[in-house]
Structure 1
Amino acid sequence: MTGLRELKKERTRRAISEAAITLFLEHGFDRVSVADVAAAAEVSKPTLFSYFPTKEDLVVHRFADHQEQAAEVVRTRTAGEPALDALLRDFLAGLARRDPVTGLNDHPAVLAFTGLVYGTPSLAARVGEYVARAEESLAEALRAAPPGAARANGAARAQGSAGAQELAAALLAAQVTATQRVLALHNWRRIRDGRTADELYAEAVEDATGAFDLLAHGYGPPSGERAAAD
């Protein structure tokens, strides 16, 4: 019975969210009230709020599914595999399967949903809260990793005191989270501007590989300074 109740709750939750997103895409997020969503989903407002604490959560709750993804990749990677290598591998796998979280998905519904989120300030701010929690989760996973395990090819100097290692984990988690977000938005914008996911795939793989290489090895001085030094 517990399983059936949970299944029913999940179906209700999904129905409320889908009704909300349909209305928001059709009329705009700010022009649709919670009462409108409740009516469309055929539930009461108290029932709606029991599933979604805020109006924004009706949309961005989908990001909660990815809050633990990066941390889980670090925790479950094969023995001896650097965390950055595992995270890159996971992102590349997402590109290959056209996971919307990578931005490499040209389905009209996905493009419209992403446009709704990043075109609505309150939704974008709420997504930022989910991203912050994902970053902290990743930092915790990196702190639990063996010393040096975060490094790829000798990068990410996590040597020294426990405090220094904790700071290094927090810095790396912030950089990885920002890198994944920027890559996803870059992919989405290029598809929004007319590219297809298939024709963009090889370029997206190259971009992701290059971005994680920068995380591993650093940016170095500007090219002008390097030329002068030579």
Structure 2
Amino acid sequence: MSTDALGLREQKKRETRQAISDHATRLFVERGFERTTISDIAAAARVAKMTVTNYFSRKEDMALDHHEEFVASLAATVRGRAAGQSALAALREAFLAAVERRDPVIGFAGEPFTRMIADSPTLVARLRELHEQREEALAAELGGDLDARVAASALAGVHRVLFADLTRRTLAHEDPDAVAAALKEAATTAFGLLESSFGGYAVRAV
């Protein structure tokens, strides 16, 4: 098979996966996560049930389709930090930039989608798992020792608190611009609280 043919095949796979996720999310929002079946999703996407399960081993991952990026995000930010920059400084900078662009990975998903997650015990539990996996990935990136695990707990904990605050404000129908401004202020305060303990930790060598 030629390189062009392989490229087209991979593009088709990505398009199919995205289409399944989009139809699933629409149904989850309309009907609720627990009340939507794999058969419903397959029918909406006009694919076989087996196709759905081939692309998504877990029903939850059709709703939380940024889960891989979410889990890897903190570790990736620390891995890419600039020379002379601490892990804390890199994570604060990246979070504030994510607020500016209203990044769905940090929770800017709109009220209907956020409500759909909040109303589903299955998705709430899955989101909790993803937060834990993200913390573990960050700890591994920082070296995996006791210091790394403590630092990862604190740094990922800030992100978890801010995610919850964004969720609360979204469900309360607050103005999106006001939410972003409040989240930016909260992030500055929250990361600042860690400065004395972790401001000099994991500084990349110049």
Q: TM-score normalized by structure 1?
A: 0.78
Is 1:193 the counterpart of 2:197 in the alignment? no
Q: Which runs of 5+ in 1 are unaligned?
A: 144-164, 219-230
Aligned partners of 2:189, 2:160: CA distance in 1, in Å?
Answer: 15
Please identify runs of 4+ aligned residues in structure 1 that moved more than 6 A. none
SS of residue matched to 1:29 = coil
In the alignment, what sits opposite 2:163? 184
Query: Counterparts of 1:132 and 1:88 in 2: how far apart (Å)?
Result: 19
Question: Retained in 1: the 8 A contact 2:60–2:122?
Answer: yes
> For 1:71, which of 67, 72, 75 is the aligned residue?
75
Q: CA deviation at 1:91?
A: 0.3
Is structure 2 residue 76 aligned with structure 1 residue 97? no
Question: Which one has more relative contact order, counting CA pairs under 8 Å at least 6 apart?
Answer: 2
Which digits, 9 at most, give the CA deviation of each residue in 1:83-133, with x for residues without a partner? 101100000001111112334x4xxx6221122112211111122222222
The answer to whether the 8 A contact 1:98-1:197 is kept is no
- How many correspondences in the alignment? 193
Cross-structure match for 1:168: 147
Counterpart selection for 2:184 from 198, 201, 205: 205
Give 1:13-162 correspondences, 5 Å limit: 13-103=17-107, 105=108, 110-143=110-143
User: 1:49-76: CA deviations, max 9, x gaps?
Assistant: 1100022121123222222111111111
Residues 24 and 62 in structure 2, CA contact (< 8 A), matched pair in contact too: yes
CA contact (8 A) 2:114 2:171 kept: no
Which residue in 2 is equivalent to 1:221?
none
| Counterpart Cα distance in 2 of 1:172 and 1:204 | 22
Q: Matches of 2:173 and 2:111 in 1, distance apart?
A: 11
Distance 1:27 1:194, change over 3 A: closer
| Identical positions, percent | 41
> RMSD of the TM alignment (CA)?
1.7
More displaced, 41-50 or 53-62? 53-62
